A = this chain, B = another copy of it.
């Protein structure tokens, strides 16, 4: 592969001049510039980003470590992150932690070894020493979606409290009183927050959230299935199951179906994190939608700001409730059939 030396030789100038042309430094004669450009074209020369990075100490690359790529929410997040980064002249390297702290650590380590300019993380746990260390020693870093309390890093996230209140209001209006939640891992902020918000919203209606109605999940479909089975085995099963993420909602749907029961007639279902497929499930699932695209954009902007020496502002965007039919909502208005209300 042609190097800058080859270009210099062919253009009859020094490598310094070639470099100046390529970085459009002002003091280059028009003549030299055209000769260099001609040589570049003839050789199909492309600067070696590795060498350039070594010298300039910047890679124009951002690292993104997410908890689970197979979750459509994170896929969309990753996509919008890449889009915004590209617009700003950066590349993105994605590391998929699969909700495993050891994998998360692996990715953080290799990203740091590659000297990425900044790191976007949606932490799976309390954070490995390596990550905490990076944050402390000044690696530009921003948390997205989830964060680690006590670590001084900007956080870009969505606030679901309002939407959870709306959801509970919706459920209450439909007559539901026994509401259960499939929680995310306690090690994650989103895992804890969603439970807290749910409990708080319940409290506003004088409803309690008994321990038996809090199932411990891990944001994966299997755990949603397992927890839901537990709920159904209770002597007094809940009337509604609220899954703290979309994958666990899917598992819950599986569990309900496996019992030969139906949503929402036998049990209602709602989920945190909306995805296109929820429109097409049987029944369509009521969910809380995060402004995922905006989250990705804002995260990149905050990170790039940090990279360039700025403060990198934290951002919190509101989520919103999207009502469908999985909680017993009457069929949509265009349907002429009479409204049938679920039991209780």
Contact = CB atoms under 8 A, between A and B. Distances in A.
Nearest to A76: B70
B282 A113 contact: no
Given A53-B50, A75-B70, A113-B47, A93 B96 contact: no
Interface string A249-265: 01001100000000000
A42 interface: no
A301 interface: no
Interface residues of A, number: 42
Interface in A134-176: none
Interface in A107-125: 109-110, 112-115
A165 to B, nearest CB: 28
Given A75-B75, A93-B93, A49 B114 contact: yes
Contacts of A96: 79, 82
Nearest to A112: B46
A203 B58 CA distance: 59
Nearest to A59: B50
Given A54-B54, A70-B72, A277-B280, 5 more contacts: A50-B50, A70-B76, A79-B96, A93-B93, A254-B279
